[in-house]
Amino acid sequence: MADTKRQEEASLVAFYYAINEGASLEPYEDEKLIEALKDVYPVVMSENAKWYKTFLKQSKVLLNWLGHREGSKDSSYSYARWGSKKVTGIPASQYTSVYEDVFDGFNADQKALFGKGGGVKDSWNTTDVYICKTDKIKDIEDTVDSVIKDSLSSSIKSSDVAEIEIACINRYFASLLRDKICVGISLKETDYGDPKVTETNVGSTFISDIGQPEAELTTPLHTWMEIVEGKGASGIDFKGNSMTYRASFNVGEYNKNYKYESKVSSLMNHATEPRDMVRGARGGLTNARARNGSIPVPKMTKMIKDYSGEDMNHNIPRNGFSTSQKTYWKDYIKKIAADSTVRKEFGDFSITSGKTTKKYSPEEFLDKAFLIDEGFKAKTTGFPLKLRSKLRILRYMKAFIKAKRSGRMEELIAEIYFASSKVNMKDGDLSGPFIKIQ
């Protein structure tokens, strides 16, 4: 199992030694660097020194992007890994928390843009580690607090003030990144070849600057509408609970194939995770080593509303289904299943009990599911949770259908990918700026 925390801390230590100490980045040339990496990631030299060589390559491309000559020393930066109070090998005097301080300083409305319960850091900025000019840290925090947040809050009378403030903070951090003053870094494992640096959310968005993507679904939208008794912790479950598909798209310099999965998460939302598909050794497509990340819940909610025209959880109750809600969903599934605008796979709309399997029409199948749901008092786990997730999947499918009919399918396919990667595709997207090393 990957030890992500230690690997990210080791990357940061390599950056510190390369920049601050002028360490050699040629393999096995700098004993001090090797020992420092062992202190933070003891297995760094195992597997033919795979990770040691990775950290050297990451450092080389970062130095090149910074314009820092390998072997020279620059002690002007402070360093941090988001989530670590300190990192072995980096002096406390050169350790910072400026990114965390800025995020922690967001008010309730600003944090709500990035998820419930105080917001999710990754939903704003997918930075893993960062470096910042030590003598600029106080200026940065003062600028965010006094110039951007306070002045805007007092001068703008709008329900969208939180979004405007975050957009301004992002533009400010983009300028700091361009000037190499404060640089957030997202670390991703490279599937082949040497890593490269990609600036993200620093300039124009794709739609405003490059234009519409070319995209297509390469497999049907798939979810299992089959119920099996004796399956799952509650004794009855769907054959599978996710919605999956594969897609490809081209926009600007991006030429991507990805695999999408919406997995059961909570009563009112899914964990929605696209993942890159890359060429394997035999030429076929296979899962990339690095995951993209999940689409933030507020972003997914907004996208479903935009493309389907419906609130994501409309008529999906926390408790039992009313008669009108049952009628609504039986009509809904009938229309979705019959629609041929987008390819879909549901299985057989069947229920299996022991060795007997009986098939139903889509609306009859859902009627049986509602009867099963009534047998469970708690609706937040087991079959009731899975049933409500299935209804939400039908709404996801409707988003694709309406997108296809309105000529926006390509946009939706690309936006789902970019939202998981925290790349701003359209004006109004609120992911912060960073560089990706992959």
Q: What percent of the chain has pLDDT over 70?
A: 87
Distance, in Å, from the CA atom of 323 to the CA atom of 289, rounded to the nearest integer, reads 47
Per-residue pLDDT band for 205 (boundaries 50, 70, 90) equals low
Residue-wise pLDDT tens digits, 111-127: 888 877 656 787 888 89
Tell me the pLDDT of the chain averaged across its residues: 88
The pLDDT of residue 430 is 79
The pLDDT of residue 339 is 97
Q: Residue 131: is its pLDDT beyond 90?
A: yes
Q: Which amino acid is at 316?
A: I
Reduced to 3 states (helix: H, G, I; strand: E, B; else coil), residue 66 is helix
Residue-wise pLDDT tens digits, 272-299: 878 877 655 455 556 666 566 778 888 8
Distances (CA, A) of 65 to 56, 179, 183, 185: 14, 11, 11, 12
Q: Give the DSSP per-residue string, 409-430.
A: HHHHHHHHHHHHTT---STT--
The model's pTM:
0.64
* Mean pLDDT along residues 402-422: 89
